Amino acid sequence: MEEARQRATWAPFSALMALLANCHRDPKRQRTLKPADFDPFRRREKPLKVSIEVLKDIFVNRSLPRGGCLERVD
């Protein structure tokens, strides 16, 4: 019930923030922003899944993964 109230409270504020952001954007450089872009309850993309070797490189060896980029592992 609390989450529903928070969602209802955020709806007009996210619309207002989108309106203000669109007023101050450069139409040639940026896309039109939507209220969903400012909604903290919006579903985001699935987290990036990586192999255990990449996690080991980052958190244990404290270096960037081999190959220089992260690849999806599904």
Note the pLDDT tens digit of each residue in 4-62: 898 888 889 999 999 999 999 998 988 999 998 888 887 777 777 888 888 888 888 88
Sole residue written with tokens 């619309």 = 15
Structure tokens at 10: 């955020």
| Residue bearing tokens 């989450």 | 3
Residue 60, burial from CB neighbour count under 10 angstroms (0-12, 13-18, 19+): exposed
Q: How confident is the model at residue 22, as a pLDDT?
A: 94
Predicted pLDDT at 63: 80
The 8-class DSSP code of residue 23 comes to: H
- The pLDDT of residue 69: 55
- Which runs of consecutive H residues, i.e. helices, occur in 24-65? 52-59
| pTM greater than 0.75 (yes/no) | no
pLDDT value at residue 41: 83
Q: Which of 33, 70, 34 is nearest to 50 (CA)?
A: 70
Residue 68 has pLDDT above 60, yes or no: no
